[in-house]
Every structure is written in structure tokens, then in C-alpha cells.
A and B are shown apart, each in its own frame.
Chain A
Amino acid sequence: MDSTPATAQIIENKGSDTLVNLALAWAEAYMGLHPEVSISVTGGGSGTGIAAMINGTVDIANASREMKAEEIAASQANGITPVEHTVAQDAIAVVVNPNNPVNKLTLQQISDIYMGRITNWREVGGFNRPIVLLSRESNSGTYVYFLENVVRLGQDNDWLFSPDTLLMPSSEGISAEVRQNPNAIGYDGLGYVTSDQQVVAVAQDRNSPYVLPGVDTVNNGSYPISRPLYMYTAGQPTGDIKEYLDWILGDGQTLVTTLGFVPLQ
């Protein structure tokens, strides 16, 4: 009776597919440090995770977007006040071959390029060469984010990538082609970009400054192709959940870069 039974603390963590690999990496590292805590991570999408948090079936919801007003209303109707924690930044870098003189583009130009409206580098200040479009596979969260926020310019339309877009099965596929092909343009999570690719400075529109992605420009919001990634808890976290979130915002940030995201500091 003197020893309390070691009941494993289980933290249920569910939501965004963009965040799922990072959440898994955090969970595995944290469970290595704290064997008494058990963290279960599942994907399913931001909406799924938030709905489960509202219903009280998960402790932490992962989301790659802010909660919508109706979701907040639904949770308050359930007696839950959701608390938002920004846990990492997701930034997408646009990359070209190091020998390409084009080193800055507006969002509109990138959209035109990826929809096949601009097909020659000459039209954006480069050499007279065809543009070769590289993208991640359509099942990647990066693909969907880039489509919605860059190709579609964040508007509600049904624009799609040009059918000529090469879909690469991996980040390595994109970097290999960008490295060796002077015609190529690609995009990927900033953490995956290697130094042998040229990162393009991006402007919101023609009158805005061109900004290179980096930890500072992403965190102050001046780089246009980036978004915060969130974890939501039902009310202010306490106990094990609080300790876990504190660890994520502290030591856990070192894992962020290895998964292609941008740390908070």
C-alpha cells in the first residue's frame, strides 16, 4: 500500500496531418525522457482534432490553422474554453538552380508559373529558357498548402497546378533536380532546403518588399508563404499536459528543424 500503483499518464493528441510527424517526433522524444507518460498521436486533419478536443476525447488538438468562430462557439457551448499554443512555424521556400539569375518573385508570378501561364524564365527576368515545375506529391500537406495559398493566391477558386508539373516522391527528388537543372523551380518546407539550392525572395505583391525566408522573417510574419502551427487544449493545461507543452516550447524546438519546419526562436 505504501507504493502508489504507477498508473501511466496517457495524453491523447490528434489532428493536423501537416503536424502529425512533428507531433510524433515530440511524443517519442518526450516519452524517452519521461517513461511514466504515454502519448498517443493520430492524424486525421485539423478539423478532426479540434472536434475531438471539443468532445473531450483528446487532450491536445493539433491544427495547421486557427480555430474557426463556430468551433470556438461549439466548444464554449460544451463548457470548454479552448486555449491556443503556437508550437512551430511552417514556411515554404521557393527554390531555383544556383545559376538562375531570378532570385525574387511575387506571389502572383509564382502562381502564374505554377499554373502554366508563364512558361519561360525570360518573362520574369531570367534567361530565355523553359520553366520546369517541380512539386511534392499530391498527398503531401505541403502540396495542399502551396496550392491554396500560392497557386490560388488564398482565394476561393478552383485553380490547379499545371498538368506539366513534375510530382516528386521526396524532398530529395526536388533538391536533386533543382541542383542539376538550370530550368527548374521547386518548393518545399524551409527545413528541407539545402545550401546548394537558391532560395527565392518572395513579395506579397509588386509594391511589397521581397523577403527571404528565415527564422526571423517567418516569426515576424513578413515572409508571405508561412503559417503558425497550433496545439489547442481544453482550458489552461495542467499537470502532465502542461509539462509536455512547456517542453515542446522549450527543448522540443530543437526537433522542429529536422522535420522541415521553422522553430519559434
Chain B
Amino acid sequence: MSGNRQNGSGHSSEFVVESTIRVLGLSTIGLGLLIFVFLLREGLPVLAEVPLTNFLDVRWYPTFGLFGILPLLLGSALVTVTAIAISLPLGVATAVFVREVAPNWAREILKPLIEVLAGIPSVVLGFFGMSLVAPLVRETLGAPTGLTALTGALVLAYMALPTIISVAEDALDSVPKGYRDGGLAMGATQWQTIWRVVVPAARSGIVTAGMLGIGRAIGETMAVMMVTGNAARMPLELDAILRPVRTVTATIAAEMGEVASGSAHYHALFALGIVLFLITFLINLTAARAIFAKRRRGGLR
């Protein structure tokens, strides 16, 4: 009798917990959708107010009705791509060191340290970039100003590193020990085993690390606003990396505070938000596909 009752209450509490979790999970997705709907509602009216040719133009002077978003998109792209080009090799190398080379005691220290890096507030890194990295870029590379796309990329690379290292390290971690033993047994050195066997086996996880790093970099605002100079110019010259740029995120952050609600400028900023949302969504989708493809192959994690 009592056993039955306990069983019954066990089932019902399981049901309560299960449905609570389900509601919470669905509400997260629902909130995401609501945010997108809100973005669309606030951003789409710009299409009625600003001709598309203006929107896809090269001049962003929102105070004077010029809403060309191309310099902002290219600015974001330039800073993000450079940041990943710097941080992906560094991050993967660090992950290889931590997982494959470092002795156990060093790994125990390094792993939490790397996670602490992720917790540094971006405004602190921005200040660091503004007062230390920017003068360095100007003096050593001969740029007219230190507030350049490269300075932003360096700061972003640093910010993306913890993400890349953690994810890449997990990927290396899930390569079965047999792969390493096999490599070594066939007479390969430790480095040959790492670069020819372990890293290629963890490839899809490393791609995911890169994608998540890009997602981290493209959405970053505060640090970028402080160090890139925020000049809405087309970064098309060969030395564009040593010149200022203005990113999508910095534009939204700098201008949203003062814009008149409901104006064309206000809608244009939300339209920028939609563009940014779609870009990060695509990046995350690509990263997710890489993960699922890996699972489907049934092999490595």
C-alpha cells in the first residue's frame, strides 16, 4: 500500500518537474523568438522611410539622413576576421599544449586560469587596449592613430581566446586514447602524433571553436567602441587594417542612447540589429551543424 502510494507520488512529482523544465526550456526559445519579433517590428519600418539604395550605400551620417550600412558591415567583418585569424591558431596551440603536452600539475593550474580570462569585463579590456595597445600599434607600425581595426582585432582576439581554448580542448579531450597509442606505436614522435593524428581527429570540434570565437567577437561592443576609432569609412585600402573602422555593434551602442524614438534613425539602428542577429544566427547554426555532423559520423567528440 505504502509502496504504491510512494510510487504514485513519485510519478506525479516527476511529472511536475518534467513539465516545469519543459516550460522553462520552451520559454527560453519563446523569448528568443519574441526578441526577434521585436527587432523586426522596430527595424522593418526603415524600409518604408529610407530607400534601399540609401541603406546599401557607403555613407553613414545618420544625423543627415544618410544610412549606408556597408562601411559598418565591412568594419565588423574586417575586425572579426582578423581577430579570429590571430586567436584561432593561438587558441588551438594553447589547447594542444594544455591537453597533450603540459604535465598534469600544470594542466590543473592552466585550465582554471584560462576560464578566469573569460570573466574579465570587456570595458576593462577596452581601457587596456586604449591606453596600452593603441599607442603600441601607432608607434611600432607607423599608423597615424593607434585606434585602428587592428587594435580592435587584437583586443577581440584576446577576448575570444578563452572560448576557443576551452572548446578546442574539449575536442582534443574526446579523441580516444587509442589514436594516440596507435600513432606512437607506429613510430611517430609525440609531435607527429599530435599534428597528424589527434588534431585532425578533433577537426570538427576545432571548427566549432572557431565559429563560437567568431560569434563572441562579432557581438562584442564596449571594447571595440573604445579602441577602433569609430570612423564609418569603407575599409578597402591595403592598409585598412591600420586605419579606424566603425563596427555595427559600436554604432548601435553609441547612437541608441540619444536617438529620437520612432525616427528613421531609430528604425535604422534596429535594422542594424536585425542584420547582426541574422549573422550571429547563421554562425551559430553553422557551428551547430558541425557538431551534429560529427555526432552522426558516430565517432569522435
Contact = CB atoms under 8 A, between A and B. Distances in A.
Interface stretch (A30-38, A56-64, A177-185, A239-247): A177-185
Interface in B218-267: 225-226, 229-234, 243-244, 246, 254-255, 257-259
A139 B259 contact: yes
Interface in A129-168: 129-132, 137-140, 143-144, 158, 160-161, 163-168
Interface in B127-154: 130-131, 134-135, 138, 144-147
Contacts of A140: 258
A177 to B, nearest CB: 7
A163 B232 contact: yes
B62 A138 contact: yes
A176 interface: yes
Contact of B63 (A144, A169, A177): A144
Nearest to B251: A167
A164 B233 contact: yes
B97 interface: no
B246 A167 contact: yes
Contact of B226 (A139, A160, A169, A181): A169
B59 interface: yes
B258 A167 contact: no
Contact of B144 (A138, A176, A183): A183
B35 to A, nearest CB: 24
Contacts of A168: 230
Contacts of A138: 61-63, 255
B146 A181 contact: yes
The size class of the interface chain B forms with chain A is: 20 to 34
Contacts of A181: 135, 138, 145-146
Contacts of A164: 231, 233, 243-244
A167 B144 contact: no
Given A139-B257, A167-B254, A177 B147 contact: yes
B145 A184 contact: yes
Contacts of B257: 139
A184 B135 CA distance: 13
Given A166-B147, A176-B130, A183-B145, A160 B231 contact: no
Contacts of A137: 230, 254-255, 258
Interface of B: 59, 61-64, 71, 130-131, 134-135, 138, 144-147, 225-226, 229-234, 243-244, 246, 254-255, 257-259
A167 B230 contact: yes
B131 A176 contact: yes
A173 interface: yes
B209 to A, nearest CB: 31
A92 to B, nearest CB: 17
Report, nearest first, the 10 A-B pairs whose CB atoms are least far apart.
A139-B258, A130-B144, A166-B229, A167-B230, A132-B145, A163-B233, A138-B63, A166-B231, A132-B144, A183-B144
Contacts of B244: 164, 166
Nearest to B243: A164
Nearest to A141: B258
Contacts of A173: 130, 226
Given A144-B63, A181-B138, A166 B144 contact: no
A163 B64 CA distance: 13
A169 B230 contact: yes
A131 B231 CA distance: 14
Contacts of B145: 132, 166, 177, 181, 183-184
B63 A139 contact: yes
B208 to A, nearest CB: 34
Contacts of B254: 137, 139, 167, 169
A109 B232 CA distance: 23
B138 A139 contact: no
A30 to B, nearest CB: 25
B230 A166 contact: yes
